[in-house]
């Protein structure tokens, strides 16, 4: 995280490195199983996976904006929003990202892009209507911290490895149905081979799912901390978190479902009232945990620590 004034986080850096190493190891094992048991299909599967990675890595910003119906806006189109981003850039000494708005009433924000030059920070119209400028500054500082920490690019690659494992599983099923079991119903070895490939890929997907969720939760706490220290207003970020979580609970379920695919990148997950899930599978830490951290930071700043 060079050349910015965002607080560094060695814990986040080490977690990103460990996560990428473990995901890579799991992925190599899954691909190795494919090469050993189904060598005739392995190169096809890897070619598809490589193309998918290139597309996701180089065009993740465009793909995410397109999926969220977001569009990049100029300073003339959104002067107040650009003004907030300019203030954060001045505070952090970070290059200015592109600024976008997504036309949806779901109050949220996200950052995407493989590096600072390609970064895009997007807010929804629902968020702009509900937050005051100080709260909005806290949210945008949080999102720009993701870019400064480079965890957006890491999450893009990490999620790809999980998707790849899922694709290999589906590919193995396809081969089994059309290229294996269909022609050699009595060949038990073929069945065992295919089951081994599918099991290895499914395990790889499960492990990648757990690792990316754990990294995602930590990176949200890290971005909260960095934003609070940069702006010097942890209470503003806490207010934004409380308000957004409360407002999301009032959004129609169908709108929330349409946005849930982007939860890993959102400022706060798009789940309504009554939703409960084990923290093991959540992309974000609980609201109470985030508010508790901001309260501690506020106390530290008031003591001049």
Task: State both tokens at 119.
Answer: 């970064």
- Alpha-carbon span 180 to 114, nearest angstrom: 40
Count of CB atoms situated within 10 Å of the CB of 40: 8
> Is 143 one of the annotated active-site residues of the chain?
yes
Record the tokens describing residue 170, joined without a space: 């589906």
Query: Is 146 marked as a binding-site residue?
Result: yes
Is 69 annotated among the ligand-binding residues? Answer: no
Sequence-distant (6+) residues with CB within 8 A of 201 are 30, 33, 34, 165, 166, 168, 169, 172
Instruction: Indicate which residue of 135, 137, 143, 247 is catalytic.
Output: 143
What is the rounded distance in angstroms from the CA atom of residue 152 to the CA atom of residue 175?
Answer: 34
Half-sphere exposure of 228 (CA within 13 A, CB side): 27
Residue 138, phi then psi, degrees to nearest 5: -65, -40
Do the annotations mark residue 220 as ligand-binding?
yes
**Mode of pairing for the β-strands spanning 120-124 and 98-102:** parallel
Annotated binding-site residue numbers for Zn(2+): 142, 146, 220
Which residues are the active-site residues?
Answer: 143
Residue positions forming the annotated binding site: 142, 146, 220
């Amino acid at each position: 995280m060079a050349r910015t004034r965002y607080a560094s986080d060695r814990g986040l850096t080490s977690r990103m490195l460990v996560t990428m190493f473990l995901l890579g190891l799991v992925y190599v094992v899954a691909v190795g199983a494919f090469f050993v048991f189904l060598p005739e299909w392995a190169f096809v599967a890897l070619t598809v996976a490589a193309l998918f990675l290139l597309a996701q890595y180089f065009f993740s910003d465009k793909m995410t904006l397109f999926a969220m119906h977001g569009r990049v806006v100029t300073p003339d189109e959104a002067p107040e929003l650009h003004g907030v981003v300019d203030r954060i850039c001045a505070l952090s000494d970070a290059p200015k990202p592109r600024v976008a708005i997504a036309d949806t009433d779901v109050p949220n924000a996200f950052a995407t892009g493989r590096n600072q030059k390609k970064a895009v920070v997007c807010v929804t119209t629902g968020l702009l209507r509900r937050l005051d400028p100080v709260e909005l500054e806290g949210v945008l500082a949080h999102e720009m911290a993701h870019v400064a920490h480079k965890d957006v690019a890491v999450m893009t690659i990490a999620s790809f490895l999980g998707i790849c494992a899922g694709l290999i599983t589906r590919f193995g099923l396809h081969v089994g149905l059309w290229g294996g079991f269909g022609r050699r119903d009595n060949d038990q070895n073929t069945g065992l081979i295919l089951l081994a490939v599918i099991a290895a890929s499914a395990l790889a997907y499960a492990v990648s799912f757990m690792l990316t969720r754990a990294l995602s939760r930590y990176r949200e706490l890290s971005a909260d901390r960095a934003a609070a220290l940069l702006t010097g207003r942890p209470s503003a970020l806490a207010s934004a978190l409380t308000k957004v979580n409360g407002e999301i609970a009032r959004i129609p379920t169908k709108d929330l479902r349409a946005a849930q695919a982007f939860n890993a990148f959102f400022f706060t997950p798009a789940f309504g009232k009554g939703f409960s899930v084990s923290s093991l599978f959540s992309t974000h830490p609980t609201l109470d945990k985030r508010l508790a951290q901001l309260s501690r930071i506020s106390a530290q700043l008031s003591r001049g620590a």
